[in-house]
Amino acid sequence: MKRKRYAYAALGLSCSLILGVSSRAAEPAAAPTSGASDDVLQDIVVTAQRRAQSLQDVPVSVSAFAGDDLKSRGVTSIDQIGGMIPNVQIHNDKGGGAPTWVIRGVALFDFNANNNPATAIYIDDVYQSSAVMGGGALYDLERVEVLKGPQGGLYGRNTTGGAVQVLSKPAKLGATDGYASVDYGKWNEYRVEGAQSIPVTDTLALRIAAVQEGGDGWQRTLASNTRWGAPDRTSARLQALLQPSERFTAQLKLFGSRDQSQTTLATSNAAYDATGGFCGAVAGGGNGNASCLNFAQFNNLITGTTGALSSASQSNDGRVVISSPINRLDDHEWGATLTLDYDFDAARLTSISAADYFHYGQVYDYDATNLRLGDQAERATIRNLSQELRLTSTGDSRFKWLAGAVYAQTGFQEYRTFDMRDNVAVVSASFTPLGVPQQDGVLAVQYRQQTRHASVYGQADYALTDRLNLSASLRYATEETDFRNGKDFFPLAGITLLDNLNSTYRLHDHVSGKVSADYHLTDTVLLYASAARGYKSGGVFGGFPQEPGDVTPYKEEIVWAYETGVKSTWLDHRLQVNLAGFHYDHNNLQALTTLPSVLTPGQFIFRLTNVGKATHDGIELETTLKPLPGLTLQASGAYVDAEVTQSNDMLYSFDNQALPWQGRRIDYSPRWTGSFSVRYDHAVTADLVGTAQLDFDVRSAQVIGSTLVDGAMRNIGGYGLLNGRLTLASDHEGWSVSLWGKNLLNRHYFTDRSNDGLGSYYSVYGRPVSYGLNLTKTW
């Protein structure tokens, strides 16, 4: 009951704030005219509800960013957007490849690519079935829309956290615009990006866009005395628009990408004394790198061997590590999307057909030392086919409706190895008795998975009056996932631990949807309230099984979300204030839990399971102000309390203490997040415009260990990041030159901290201060 009062308080605060402001306002702000200058806030048109609307008229908590705005802020990847939105984190634990969205504390921290994220990612209206498919480069964008809260009615499965729409710039008839952009910065990193519109005929147009990134790395590893962390990404896109009549439009998108970047090397955390127990520094909750042994050193000690590097030789900011230089991606993707639209006067029919092939490859040194104690190599292929049909009403009647159907099929196949050939302490104790020689200590898992999904959905909106609108959406879905031919084995030794593992997950909870009401208190003040129900699919754990029961399906999780809020514009369209409060009931919460290992006694394994119920309560405020010509101020702040409230399950701390899930805060959901941005545009001459911009985002602690040892090995404290940009641009000539900097205060901060399950502990640092130059030419 205590947590529900947060939502009720937020409701009261929303209403009292807006009613108080409106009662004091002389009159509401008038809508900007077509000739409005940049001295007022401009409307952003979004398609969050599958139809074009002004952002301030959408009764949903949505953050939207125009592509040009993201480019001016230097945003080049999806994980950089998280700091710009209150109550949103993007957890990219291994430095790239699989971003996990955390929206209002709802997420799934599963490192296996066969699972679905809790926030659905759509790229040009096409659902991405794995988190590894949502980490590509951002280039030539129309906009990005981030919808918070369950979106099961219009967007469907796996939207318990929300939905994200990434929309590329389309081809347009008659357009000849284009641009070229070059960035060069610290560590010789560079980015070359460009696009061009090509009018072919009066009814056919093309748009080509591409980006390439490269450079050196920001880290140095003492394991080989080499630099590491170099990006190596290439993406390209061709779009064609055919419009033979005013009624019919066909859009074809062909795309491809490759990513062979070196990803962040982890820092080794020392934890042991000479007996193999936790050393005094770590047992007291502190850092043991200066005085304790890492597992590689302890492994050498008990075996009488040498060669392990000390954790004390590393820097405290991630720049110098002792990890093996192996962390990298090997991703390849290509596919096509065909979108057909036909206008029947009373309704518009849309067909979206998509085919996508994604090869995912990643190598990662989980022990973070120069020995092969826990090195993982993963190869997976994902094949997606989907078809959506959507019929949308047109016109300006009081009743608007939408109906659709979706069918999707995803094939997934994986082969993964875990190299323990130098881990004598584990292999000799646990696997040599099974006949595995030390030199063959490479464990492998393989399986294939097939998922079939179908759903029908609809939404209806009815304007009871000119100011009051009611809306309801509903979706019915079926889904089945077949996990087949699972095998856990030592390929070099020819020894199989588990074979012919098969399992089938079926969706049992088929209905999701939303009801809402919104009321225009004035022309520029919108009050809204909603109740939504969404689900995240269950499935089968894709990690290393230790017994047949490890592939037993886990259930779908259900979130009931209640939200109320206000969107308002004041001071002749120079001020926007948006406020929202929410309460979530989160059932069958999916989470990775720690359990004692069957194969390696004394160590722990991670297993994905349903751990119980949770609640999420919070409030969010977003404001934008143009107090003076050329000056724009943006500020946001948010609070969330996300906690497991009912559970009979236990998890184990790193120091072997059984802890209840009940009462535990959900990881990577900081209580407080906020951001502040200031931008000033000034006419230097009649043609030249100078721009200065600073962005600062901050968050409180994201992970807090339950014991002193857990705190020493898992705590991720709060931090703030400051980014800046200076630009000189010529509107007439179409060129601009910018100086940019990221993490200007050079904060040392963690993005992930954990262990490899075999005795080693690691931390992953965020990038230190960086800076560079951008040159852009548009035409």
Q: Comparing C-alpha atoms, which of 129, 144, 138 is closest to residue 47?
A: 144
Q: What is the pLDDT of residues 152-198, one digit of tens each?
A: 999 999 999 999 999 999 999 999 999 999 999 999 999 999 999 99
Domain count, the chain: 1
Q: Can you give the pLDDT at residue 95?
A: 61
Checking if the pLDDT of 13 tops 80, the result is: no
Confidence class for position 90, pLDDT limits 50, 70, 90: confident
Q: Can you give the pLDDT at residue 648?
A: 93
User: Residue 24, SS3?
Assistant: helix
Q: What is the mean pLDDT of residues 336-345?
A: 96
Checking if the pLDDT of 29 tops 50, the result is: no
* Residue 328: DSSP 8-state: E
Q: Can you give the pLDDT at residue 2?
A: 45
User: Which domain covers residue 146, as residue numbers?
Assistant: 2-778
- Report the share of the chain in percent with pLDDT over 90: 78
Q: What is the pLDDT of residues 439-485, one digit of tens each?
A: 999 999 999 999 999 999 999 999 999 999 999 999 999 999 999 99
Q: Find out whether 113 and 358 touch, Cβ atoms under 8 Å.
A: no
Checking if the pLDDT of 5 tops 90, the result is: no
Q: What is the mean pLDDT of residues 27-50?
A: 64
Q: Can you give the pLDDT at residue 353?
A: 98
Q: DSSP labels for 675-732?
A: EEEEEEEEESSSSEEEEEEEEEEEE--SB--SSHHHHHHH-B--EEEEEEEEEEEETT
Checking if the pLDDT of 58 tops 80, the result is: yes
Q: Using the CB atoms, write b or e for 68-86: b if 16+ within 10 Å.
A: ebbbbbbbbbbbbbbbbbb
Q: Using the CB atoms, write b or e for 442-473: b if 16+ within 10 Å.
A: bbbbbbbbbbebebebbbebebeeeeebebeb
Q: Using the CB atoms, write b or e for 275-290: b if 16+ within 10 Å.
A: eeebbebbbeebbbbe
Checking if the pLDDT of 288 tops 50, the result is: yes
Q: What is the mean pLDDT of residues 9-21?
A: 40
Position with higher pLDDT, 74 vs 127:
127
Checking if the pLDDT of 518 tops 90, the result is: yes
Q: What is the mean pLDDT of residues 214-242?
A: 97
Q: Comparing C-alpha atoms, which of 87, 71, 153 is closest to residue 120?
A: 153
CATH number for 641: 2.40.170.20
Q: What is the pLDDT of residues 91-146, one digit of tens each?
A: 876 666 778 899 999 988 777 889 888 999 999 999 999 988 887 889 999 999 99
Backbone phi, psi, residue 188, to 5°: 60, 25
Residue whose pair of structure tokens reads 């956290």 in the numeric block: 161
Q: What Rg do the C-alpha atoms of the chain give, in angstroms?
A: 27
Checking if the pLDDT of 690 tops 60, the result is: yes
Q: What is the mean pLDDT of residues 564-575?
A: 95
Q: What is the pLDDT of residues 609-631, one digit of tens each?
A: 899 999 999 999 999 999 999 99
Checking if the pLDDT of 226 tops 90, the result is: yes
Both tokens of 305, joined, read: 């061997």
Q: What is the mean pLDDT of residues 241-264?
A: 97
CB proximity list for 66: less than 8 A, separation 6 or greater: 44, 142, 143
Q: Can you give the pLDDT at residue 1?
A: 44
Q: Can you give the pLDDT at residue 78?
A: 80
Q: Comparing C-alpha atoms, which of 494, 474, 466, 588 is closest to residue 536?
A: 588
Q: What is the mean pLDDT of residues 482-498?
A: 96
Q: Can you give the pLDDT at residue 246?
A: 93
Q: Comparing C-alpha atoms, which of 564, 568, 540 is closest to residue 624?
A: 568
Q: Compute the distance between CA of residue 267 and CA of residue 315 in angstroms, rounded to an integer.
A: 9
Q: Can you give the pLDDT at residue 464?
A: 96
Q: Compute the distance between CA of residue 623 and CA of residue 639 in angstroms, rounded to an integer.
A: 15
Q: Find out whether 735 and 725 touch, Cβ atoms under 8 Å.
A: no
C-alpha distances out from residue 217 to 221, 319, 320, 379, 739, Å:
10, 10, 11, 24, 21
Q: Comparing C-alpha atoms, which of 519, 518, 524, 520 is closest to residue 32?
A: 524
Q: Compute the distance between CA of residue 365 and CA of residue 508 in angstroms, rounded to an integer.
A: 38
Residue type for position 193: E
CA contacts within 13 A on the Cβ side of 114: 29
Q: Compute the distance between CA of residue 151 and CA of residue 430 in angstroms, rounded to an integer.
A: 46
Checking if the pLDDT of 35 tops 70, the result is: no
